Amino acid sequence: MELSHTAEQERFREEVRAWIVEALPPEMRKRAEDGANFEHSEVMEWHKILFAKGWIAPNWPEEVGGPGWDVAERSIFQEECVRANTPNLSPFGLSMVGPLLIQYGSPEQKERFLPKILAGEEIWCQGYSEPNAGSDLANLQLRADKDGDDYILNGQKTWTTYAQYADWIFVLCRTSGEGKKQEGITFLLADIHNTEGIDVKPFLTTGGTYAFSETWFKDARVPQANRVGPEGGGWTMAKALLGHERTGIGGIAESARGLKRAKRIAQHTPVGNATLFDDAAFRGRIARKEMRLRAIEILNLRQLSAAQLGHAPGAESSVLKIVGTELQQEADELCMDAMGHNAMGWLDSPEEALPASQQAVASQFNYDRATTIYGGSNEIQKNIIAKQMLRLPGA
Task: Give the residue numbers annotated as catalytic, written as ranges.
Answer: 245
Report the candidate in 91, 90, 69 with the shortest Cα–Cα distance to residue 80. 69
Report the candidate in 394, 369, 249 with the shortest Cα–Cα distance to residue 318. 249
Rounded to whole angstroms, the Cα distance separating 213 from 162 reads 7
Rounded to whole angstroms, the Cα distance separating 92 from 163 reads 11
Report the candidate in 120, 97, 101 with the shortest Cα–Cα distance to residue 109. 101
Query: Which residue(s) pair with 287 in the sheet?
Result: none
Helix (H) or strand (E) holding 271: strand 270-271
Report the candidate in 10, 20, 12, 37 with the shortest Cα–Cα distance to residue 81. 20
How many CA atoms within 13 Å lie on the side-chain side of 250?
29
Helix (H) or strand (E) holding 32: helix 26-34
Written as one string, the DSSP assignment of 310-325 is TPPP-THHHHHHHHHH
Secondary structure tally for the chain: helices H, strands E = 14, 10
Rounded to whole angstroms, the Cα distance separating 358 from 261 reads 9
Q: Are the beta carbons of 171 and 234 closer than 8 angstroms?
A: no
Q: Are the beta carbons of 21 and 30 closer than 8 angstroms?
A: no
Q: For residue 173, which phi and psi values (nearest 5 degrees)?
A: -140, 165
